[in-house]
Amino acid sequence: MTKPLQVSILGATGSIGASTLDVVARHPERFEVFGVSGFTRVSDLVDICIQVRPHMVALKDEAARAQWLELYKQRAPGASLPQAEIGEAGLKMLAGAPEVDQVMAAIVGAAGLQSTLAAADAGKTILLANKETLVMGGGLFIERARAGGATVIPIDSEHNAIFQCLNPSALNCMPVTPQGVTRVVLTASGGPFRTWSREMMEQATPEQACAHPKWSMGRKISVDSATLMNKGLEVIEAHYLFGLGAEQLEVLVHPQSIVHSMVEYADGSTLAQLGNPDMRTPIAQAMGFPMRLESGVGRLDLAKHGRLEFEAPDLDRFGCLSLAFEAMAAGGASACILNAANEVAVAMFLDRQICFGDIERLNRRVCDDLWPRYALERVNCFEDLLEIDDISRTLAREVAKEWTA
């Protein structure tokens, strides 16, 4: 009997982590959880550890480890304890351990960069749900993955859909654009403010921005969906993952979230991947590739859904999407700067320090200030990117502080 594949789930307490655990639970003969991480939700991580009995767990710091240990002993007295590591070093151990076969890279934001790189260097199969790794330094990441012998399979529903519509030869360290591809269309639900005027959006609350009409996601990515920044970041991802130029990438708003992406070929064919809006579908596809696994997602009933609608995005109301295309065209560290500014802006919005409309304005201000300096600069290593990331965050906070003074 074949041994189960060992899986490390980085970001196990988030929505992607929960969906991954659900898929694993449906196939105990194929998968076993080697390690899990969860930096902020310690109590939830304890429950996960009791459920799946991992060999290793990674926590934020010593205080989090002490809290985790106390809760674990309370809830599972006498049970054997997983090996508990802390900080960035702990995440790297989860990602690069010799026993691990697959790494679900689902930590949100730049915080997931180093552990994803560790998985690449160790030659793992990376189930890539951390878009910031590609946005910050897609070219460098692909080089590292290729050098380490890693396999990269995208988890974002749009990129996984593209992957499914391409020839499987696109696997193993993309970019490999199959011959005959003329255009790739990424779909966007339009978020909660698709029909709102710009004036209405200006005063939107965090609760309204996080009320996504189709997907259940974390707060940060929900706000990114509301600004369409999430789609902009995905365009940059697709550029690096599949070796596509800006002229080959397009975004269409599709409120039903049934068609997840489309690939157009030179002969006039357009292949689309359809499915119910449930992240367990791309997760099961990636974990089982090249086999198809049962995911727990219900069958798609197109007769029930009826009409499928598509429309071009309004770049005036959703300027963050336009900014992302500009960053991709500018090159260098431009996307890294945009991503850093956006993370600061979204965090400040969620803390009610700035209004919804300030997210786009803050992103534009930081990019306008820093792009002339870094757009054409050749970035040779991730250490350079991390320095630029820090400079961008500092400037974003300073500008926002001036606005709110």
Mean pLDDT of the chain: 92
Q: Which letter, b or e, does each residue of 128-151 get, where b requires 16 or more Cβ atoms within 10 Å of its Cβ?
A: bbbbbbbbbbbebbbebbeebebb
Alpha helices, DSSP H only, in 215-355?
219-227, 229-242, 280-288, 302-305, 319-330, 334-350
Q: How far apart, in whole angstroms, are the C-alpha atoms of residue 138 and residue 113?
A: 11
Q: Does residue 159 have a pLDDT over 90? A: yes
Q: Does residue 103 have a pLDDT over 80? A: yes
Q: Does residue 212 have a pLDDT over 90? A: no
* Domains, in order of start, for the chain: 5-155 (3.40.50.720), 181-276+284-404 (1.10.1740.10)
Both tokens assigned to 148:
């380490």
The pLDDT, as a whole number, for residue 248 is: 93
- Whole-model pTM above 0.75? yes
Identify the three-state secondary structure at position 105.
strand
The pLDDT, as a whole number, for residue 382 is: 86
Average pLDDT over residues 218-235: 93
The pLDDT, as a whole number, for residue 178 is: 61
213 confidence band (pLDDT: 50, 70, 90): confident
| Closest by CA position to 38, among listed 84, 97, 99, 101 | 84
Q: How far apart, in whole angstroms, are the C-alpha atoms of residue 45 and residue 39?
A: 9
| Closest by CA position to 115, among listed 154, 143, 144 | 144
Tens digits of residue pLDDT in 164-209: 998 655 454 444 556 789 999 999 999 999 999 999 999 999 999 9
Q: Does residue 241 have a pLDDT over 60? A: yes
Helix (H) or strand (E) holding 20: helix 15-26
Q: How far apart, in whole angstroms, are the C-alpha atoms of residue 16 and residue 185?
A: 23
The pLDDT, as a whole number, for residue 128 is: 95
Q: Distances in Å between the alpha carbon of 40 and those of 12, 49, 60, 64, 390?
A: 11, 15, 7, 8, 22
Question: 109 in the Ramachandran plot: left (φ > 0), alpha (ψ -120 to 50) or beta?
Answer: left
Identify the three-state secondary structure at position 33.
strand
145 confidence band (pLDDT: 50, 70, 90): very high
The answer to which of 6-15, 70-79, 159-168 has the lowest mean pLDDT is 159-168
Percent of the chain scoring above 90 in pLDDT? 79
Q: How far apart, in whole angstroms, are the C-alpha atoms of residue 233 and residue 192?
A: 18
Higher pLDDT, residue 180 or 92: 92
Tens digits of residue pLDDT in 333-366: 999 999 999 999 999 999 999 999 999 999 999 9
Provide CB contacts within 8 A for 242, sequence distance 6+. Answer: 162, 166, 170, 174, 175, 176, 177, 184
| Closest by CA position to 376, among listed 324, 339, 329 | 329
Tens digits of residue pLDDT in 282-303: 999 999 998 999 999 999 999 9
Q: Does residue 99 have a pLDDT over 90? A: yes
The pLDDT, as a whole number, for residue 176 is: 52
Q: Does residue 11 have a pLDDT over 60? A: yes
Q: What is the dihedral of CA 162, 166, 168, 169, to 10 degrees?
A: -120
Say how far residue 330 (Cα) sits from the centre of its chain. Answer: 22
